[in-house]
Amino acid sequence: MARKSPARPSSARELLFGDLWEFDPAPESAPAHIEPHYGLFVNGRFVAAKSRRRFDSISPRDKAKLAEISEAMAADVDAAYQAAAKAFKSWSKTPGRDRSKFLFRIARLLQDRAREFAVAETLDGGKPIRESRDFDLPMAAAHFFYHAGWADKLDHVAPGCRLAPLGVIGQVIPWNFPLLMLAWKIAPALATGNTVVIKPAETTSITALKFASILQDAGLPPGVVNIVTGGAETGALVVNHPLAAKIAFTGSTDVGKMIQHSLAGTGKKLSLELGGKAANIVFEDAPLDQAVEGVINGIFFNQGHVCCAGSRLLVQEGVAAEFTARLKRRMASLRVGDPLDKNTDVGAINSLAQLKKIQELVQSGIDEGTEIHQHACQLPKKGFYFPPTLFSGVSMSQRIASEEIFGPVLSILTFRTPDEAIEKANNTRFGLSAGVWTDKGSRILMMASRLKAGVVWANTYHKFDPASPFGGYKESGFGREGGKHGLLEYSQLV
């Protein structure tokens, strides 16, 4: 006798536990060793800011005050440049094999103190401890190791030419990967014999200041690295100081453009690592579950505060409905909340200003009648949080598809043919990164050659390596960080 089978929804193979199971809290307990007040790091030691100005650094996790940070003004920035210029005289003549030893020591010390630094990074910036611990810290150390390897081999970078240092480098970095961006900047500059004045972002200065103690422990000669803190005004002072031979800036496209204007005609070398609005392109023949993981990682890693975040999903029409359904199911399993909890996938938004920017852009999508889907999660009451969000049926003319949101917000668009995918992917003022998901190797190569993006990932996303140059096209900036190309940014060929 035939038995009637129960009605099964298409997603019947899911294991749904509802709220029957809950994770216990798993807070990271290692101390972050944050000082109540930090001075500026100039000429190898901490000094009080001549400006006598200070501002609070608060944790986006719960708005708790973490420390008071000094605000460097003209006399402070000048003292840092003078120290760097003096140190350049001997550092630039230090043999590569000795510079290499310092970089190696810095890398090892970072590894030794990785747990403490990871906690400090999470408290200060809001990113999940799992990411600071497993990504930011190991990658920062890897950049110092990698450049320690290059420092005594610079004669092999450009055959027939020698690499000479430029002088004092002014560096300004953003808040999304505070320690890692510092490593991207300082390691190649030191490996090539330059000295540095660096300014971290105002909301995330703490790991840069803690890093100063690593430089002291490594015995780095005074003045080789100087760390000045402050906001936009301090940044402008660093950029416009006459002793800077080169400016290396990572941050927003708007500020990058201002810097390019102000440096025009000064003869200073410049590299700009700016914003992005990457397309993550999923073809019908892609392994869909793997692609779902890649898309989730592409947009929700570090709360979407990633210049190369895959913030525009382009999915081929035939699988769009199925793919969106799988994406929503996967999104429902993300754990959003306290970044210090080891189970958290999506932590706190870095600052109130950034939270407001995300809210404003999401509202623009809602006002235009776009279908929105948000993770139904309980957000912590204190601190800055935003739920993972999807917009479906988005068109390229909308703000949510063209502006960098820099938050956990994904816009879904569809395409029919590879040509249409390329057209839509390249239809942006940015050009930093892209992702392609397909089973067909020849299609990967074809797409990579036609996408106007500095990095194209295939069947993966957000994979980084110090040996692999990173940088953009168009309004995502110019210059490359990492690899041999990155060394050339800090050198002149002689």
Positions annotated as catalytic residues are 273, 307
Which of 92, 111, 213, 252 is the binder for ligand NAD (CB under 6 A)?
A: 252
Side chain identity, residue 328: K
Quote the CA–CA distance of 328 and 356 in Å, as a whole number: 24
Which of 136, 273, 341, 475 is the binder for ligand NAD (CB under 6 A)?
A: 273
Q: Between 236 and 421, name the residue whose CB sits nearer to ligand NAD.
A: 236
Contact yes or no for 200/67 (Cβ under 8 A): no
Side chain identity, residue 307: C
Contact yes or no for 275/407 (Cβ under 8 A): no
Q: Between 131 and 404, name the residue whose CB sits nearer to ligand NAD.
A: 404
Q: Least distance from C-beta 284 to ligand NAD, angstroms? A: 31
Instruction: Write down the residue that tokens 């986006």 correspond to.
Output: 60
First to last CA, the chain: 88
Residue 199 makes contact with ligand NAD by CB under 6 A:
yes
Binding mask 208-247 for ligand NAD (x = CB under 6 A): -----------------------xx--xx--x--------
Which of 174, 431, 435, 479 is the binder for ligand NAD (CB under 6 A)?
A: 174
Residue 406 makes contact with ligand NAD by CB under 6 A:
yes
Q: Least distance from C-beta 181 to ligand NAD, angstroms? A: 6
Please give the backbone phi and psi of residue 472, each rounded to the nearest 5 degrees, phi first. -120, 175
Q: Least distance from C-beta 482 to ligand NAD, angstroms? A: 10
Which of 110, 191, 208, 274 is the binder for ligand NAD (CB under 6 A)?
A: 274
Quote the CA–CA distance of 72 and 231 in Å, as a whole number: 9
DSSP one-letter string for 253-321: HHHHHHHHHHHTTS--EEEEE-----EEEE-TTS-HHHHHHHHHHHHHGGGG--TT---EEEEEHHHHH
Residue 482 makes contact with ligand NAD by CB under 6 A:
no
Instruction: Write down the residue that tokens 């069947």 correspond to.
Output: 459
Instruction: Write down the residue that tokens 């999508």 correspond to.
Output: 365
Q: Which range touches ligand NAD (CB under 6 A), out of 55-63, 194-202, 220-228, 384-392?
A: 194-202
Q: Least distance from C-beta 202 to ligand NAD, angstroms? A: 5
Q: Which range touches ligand NAD (CB under 6 A), out of 113-121, 123-131, 169-177, 394-402?
A: 169-177
Q: Edge-to-edge strands of the sheet including 312-316? A: 371-374, 389-392, 409-415, 312-316, 279-282, 433-437, 455-458
Q: 434: Cβ–Cβ under 8 A, 6 or more apart, which residues?
A: 278, 279, 280, 281, 310, 425, 447, 451, 453, 455, 456, 457
* Nearest residue to 67 via CA among 97, 100, 34, 19: 34
Q: Least distance from C-beta 193 to ligand NAD, angstroms? A: 24
Q: Which range touches ligand NAD (CB under 6 A), out of 24-32, 49-57, 108-116, 195-203?
A: 195-203
Q: Between 193 and 407, name the residue whose CB sits nearer to ligand NAD.
A: 407
Q: Which range touches ligand NAD (CB under 6 A), out of 123-131, 208-216, 372-380, 470-478?
A: 470-478
Containing 120, the helix (H) or strand (E) segment is helix 114-125
How many CB atoms sit inside 10 A of residue 258's CB? 16
Q: Between 315 and 455, name the residue whose CB sits nearer to ligand NAD.
A: 455
Residue 193 makes contact with ligand NAD by CB under 6 A:
no
Q: Between 178 and 223, name the residue whose CB sits nearer to ligand NAD.
A: 178
Q: Between 100 and 280, name the residue whose CB sits nearer to ligand NAD.
A: 280
Residue 481 has what DSSP assignment? B
Q: Least distance from C-beta 373 to ligand NAD, angstroms? A: 24
* Nearest residue to 375 via CA among 362, 392, 388: 388
Which of 41, 91, 135, 175 is the binder for ligand NAD (CB under 6 A)?
A: 175
Q: Least distance from C-beta 274 to ligand NAD, angstroms? A: 5
Q: What residues from 289 to 348 belong to the interface with ligand NAD (CB under 6 A)?
A: 307
Residue 461 makes contact with ligand NAD by CB under 6 A:
no
Residue 276 makes contact with ligand NAD by CB under 6 A:
yes
Quote the CA–CA distance of 88 and 80 in Å, as a whole number: 12
Quote the CA–CA distance of 119 and 61 in Å, as a whole number: 12
Residue 387 makes contact with ligand NAD by CB under 6 A:
no
The residue count for binding ligand NAD (CB under 6 A) is 30
SS3 state at 174: coil
Burial 3-37 (b: 16+ CB within 10 A, else e): eeeeeeeeeeeeeeeeeeeeeeeeebeeebebeee
Which of 122, 176, 324, 491 is the binder for ligand NAD (CB under 6 A)?
A: 176
* Nearest residue to 55 via CA among 201, 267, 224: 201
Residue 140 makes contact with ligand NAD by CB under 6 A:
no
Residue 125 makes contact with ligand NAD by CB under 6 A:
no
**Which residue of this chain has its Cβ atom nearest to ligand NAD in the complex?**
235
Q: Between 202 and 345, name the residue whose CB sits nearer to ligand NAD.
A: 202
Contacting positions for ligand NAD (CB under 6 A):
172-176, 199, 201-202, 231-232, 235-236, 239, 250-252, 255, 258-259, 273-276, 307, 404, 406, 432, 472, 476-477
